[in-house]
Structure 1
Amino acid sequence: MFSGEYAMTTLAAPEAPPTSRPALRRGAAFTLVAVVIATLLGASAAPTPLYEVYQSNWGFSSLQSTLIFGIYAVSLLLALLTVGSLSDYVGRRPVLITALVFEAASMIMFATAEGIGLLLIARVVQGFATGAAISALGSTLLDLERTPGRGATVNSIAPTVGPALGAIGSSLISEHLPRPTSTVFLVFCALFVVEILGIWAAPETAVRQKGALASMRPTLAVPSTALGMLVLTGPCLVAVWALGGFYLSLGPSLARNALDVHTSLIGAIMVATLTGTGAFAVFLLRNVAARRILYVGASALVAGVAITLVGAETSSALWILAGTAVAGIGFGAGFQGTIRTVMPLAEPHERAGLLSSIYVIAYLANSVPALIAGYLVGKVGLVDTTRIYGGLVIVLAAAAFLGLLMRKAPVSTS
């Protein structure tokens, strides 16, 4: 799907070890891995539409809502820093199966929670399981791709499709089926059980090597060949994930307050609009040069957040949703541009470590600003917090755009 020049710089994926006896063909395994990514990240967004239910049942504050969101991201970061590269050493399947088992267990915890204590524990387990799996899944896509660039494209689309489906599905299930805080998590648990069986039957794409214990020392594994590009694209990456963190933690509250609509579906629609248009942008721009994608992403973030702020000030549903859709283009394009610019610069055995480092930056941006915003809501109110947060995203995206303009050499020809 990428240009010929990109294809020439892409190294062939390693063949599966001879001891592997998969039941799934590479094409089917590729599709399965993409579905697993979407399901994992869909499950991470499932609590978002339920925050209003939790607040009603247990008296949650905005800070507690962002804490439930933020502790997930912190746990995920710890996993990325410790076991993010483990699949490069022990194989993809052992890491993925173990992670999915813990993910299924966290769904049971969510389904049986009766207060914030077990919710927080469930989020910790879910975050660590997701962090352990995410870089292995992304690397597996690159290992299994038949067309150069297809894995990078799916790596960009799945993280945007997953939260959209998770948020909408959670909202619909909670409003139309019994036991609103339990049923959605039992559905996800069943999906993870099926996916465990699928991964067990999938081909192993990584050759085992020594150094597994050493790889678990907390470190950021960024190859020197990719460091410069990661620094250049960093502000856009931070802006993208900071925006996602706001929508997943405080987006429903903003919608209810600005639009005076009290249904979990409105928050889910906002999340789905952001991530859904992001997925559409990734697909639409899949054959566009990475530098141009970054331009599109940064400029769309600036324009989209500005429009959303106008909608929040005027309590206009049309402006809020329109701004969210434009920002969603930036959400998808910004992340896609980063992945397509940075990942091709790593050798196959460096992929999981580099992808883990990208996700560390992403989830720090996803969680820390959201936690601060949750605290600020109690001090200055939701409207002023939204203004500050939106301004931060605009400044970061504008900085990324200007940085690209000032760099004369092309970022990538892919």
Structure 2
Amino acid sequence: MARFSVPLLTLCLFVVTFSVNVQAPLYPAYVAASGLGAMAATVAFAAYVAGLLPTFIFLGGLSDRVGRRLPTICALLLGGGATLLLALSPGWPQLVIARVFLGVATGLVTTSGTAYMTELMGEAHARRAALMVTSATSLGFGGGALATGISLVVQGPSFAPISFWALIAAVPLLVMACLALPRIAMPQDKPMLRLPVFPIGSAPYGIAIALSWASTGMTIAMVPLLLDRQGLGGWSGAVIFLAVLGGLLCQPLAGRLTNPRALAVGLCLIPLGFAALLTGAITGSISLILLGTALTSASSYGFTYLSGLSQFSLLAPDDRARTTAGFFIYAYCGLCLPVVAAGALADWLGLAPAMAVFFCVQLACLASLVLYRRILRGDARQELV
């Protein structure tokens, strides 16, 4: 079984994150059925963080106490259960509940999975283990939306597309397979509730991933609504998949760079990508929307994601699970919280103007982060003199 452990864990990470966005192309349909506005879609999307942040904050070290397998199995069951709920009882309230479950699932699997992958591959391959985790989760986040988009094209409008049932069928099989995974690190006698760790020197990476994932949150939650209103709803699944695929394709290149260099590239791509996305949204150009999505993805799930996760892990190698929780708190606050504010603005100003306001705030935050990094480098040079 040992030789299949890494592929099996990779598949588990993929399936859990696949479940997170598998319902994303249906957001316009859920909103239309509820009779609510753009705010409803963004609240449902951000309900994810209501399950995820408490998991990161209070259960980031759970896998150190109970082992890595149990949190992974729980995450699979929550992902499958949330999808089953939406398949059997579609609606906006059910979507909110499902997103909370999916947040808990993601919190469990990313903290335990990152530590478990490093243990399976060995400490000497910690950076490669981080690449495996980011690749599996990136493909999962985008693959779920793409699968549902294709399912809707093939079978027509439905609140229970084929992609839902494929995921539901896969979960019990993976749960049984997980029971055979080896125990590498024995459970430790530590408190069940352990707060996340934010290593010294990690703040620039954390702020960068928050700003980067904010663009992805806008793409996943707002762009499908915009496309639906422009008669381009069929592109939603492809756009959301591209929001992750671009970063996945960039991860091998990001892996060849040092973490500071990869971070610098990621910071440059954030404004370029959202500028193209915003221009496409205003002009109704699907080409510009796709280009902007690809560029923001290259940062969100490529250069910024890999450099940040790797740097957090390297800064606190003896407490990797809780350090990973700290990293993802930054990431998911960026993914969800700005989207809720933009959703409220969208009901007042319109979708495109709300995205424009978001972009202005994002530019101001990026400028502040770049200035902060330059100040840190200047202080470091003075200490060496």
TM-score (normalised: structure 1): 0.85
Aligned position for 1:4: none
Q: Distance in 2 between matches of 1:83 and 1:340?
A: 21
Aligned position for 1:337: 307
Map 1:106-117 to 2 at 5 A. 106-117=82-93
Does the 8 Å contact 2:16/2:75 carry over to 1?
A: no
Does the 8 Å contact 1:41/1:162 carry over to 2?
A: yes
Structure 2 regions of 5+ residues with no counterpart? Answer: none
Would you say 1:382 and 2:351 are equivalent positions?
A: yes
Aligned position for 2:256: 287
**Residue 326 of structure 1: which of 286, 295, 316 is its match?**
295
CA-to-partner distance for each residue in 1:320-359, whole Å, 9 max, x for gaps? 22122122212121111111222112134x1111101111
Alignment CA distance shift 1:190-1:398 (3 Å): farther
Q: Distance in 2 between matches of 1:262 and 1:305?
A: 19
Does the 8 Å contact 1:74/1:364 carry over to 2?
A: no
Q: Distance in 1 between matches of 2:277 and 2:81?
A: 37
Aligned position for 2:364: 395
Q: Distance in 2 between matches of 1:138 and 1:251?
A: 30
Alignment CA distance shift 1:120-1:156 (3 Å): same
Q: Distance in 1 between matches of 2:262 and 2:348?
A: 38
Q: Percent identity?
A: 23
Q: Distance in 1 between matches of 2:284 and 2:92?
A: 31
Q: Distance in 1 between matches of 2:75 and 2:28?
A: 29
Aligned CA RMSD, in angstroms, stands at: 2.0
TM-score (normalised: structure 2): 0.91
- Aligned partner letter, 1:210: D
Aligned position for 1:166: 144
Would you say 1:227 and 2:200 are equivalent positions?
A: yes
**Residue 9 of structure 2: which of 20, 29, 33 is its match?**
33
Aligned position for 2:274: 305
Does the 8 Å contact 1:302/1:398 carry over to 2?
A: no
**Residue 243 of structure 1: which of 183, 190, 215 is its match?**
215
Quote how far apart the aligned CAs of 1:148 are: 4.1
Quote how far apart the aligned CAs of 1:407 are: 3.4
Aligned position for 1:216: 193
SS at 2:80 equivalent: helix
Q: Distance in 1 between matches of 2:232 and 2:10?
A: 34
Quote how far apart the aligned CAs of 1:178 are: 6.5
CA-to-partner distance for each residue in 1:124-179, whole Å, 9 max, x for gaps? 22222222222101111111125342111122222321121111101111332367
Q: Distance in 2 between matches of 1:155 and 1:193?
A: 22
Aligned position for 1:189: 168
Alignment CA distance shift 1:99-1:234 (3 Å): closer
Alignment CA distance shift 1:288-1:170 (3 Å): same
Map 1:128-147 to 2 at 5 A. 128-146=104-122, 147=125
Structure 1 regions of 5+ residues with no counterpart? Answer: 1-23
Q: Distance in 1 between matches of 2:126 and 2:211?
A: 28
- Aligned partner letter, 2:68: R
Q: Distance in 1 between matches of 2:326 and 2:132?
A: 19
Alignment CA distance shift 1:115-1:319 (3 Å): closer
Query: Relative to total residues, which structure has the larger helix share, 1 or 2?
Result: 2
Aligned position for 1:351: 320
Shift >6 Å, 4+ stretches: none
**Residue 149 of structure 1: which of 102, 121, 127 is its match?**
127
Aligned position for 1:14: none
- Aligned partner letter, 1:367: C
Q: Distance in 2 between matches of 1:186 and 1:347?
A: 39
- Aligned partner letter, 1:174: L
Q: Distance in 2 between matches of 1:63 and 1:141?
A: 38
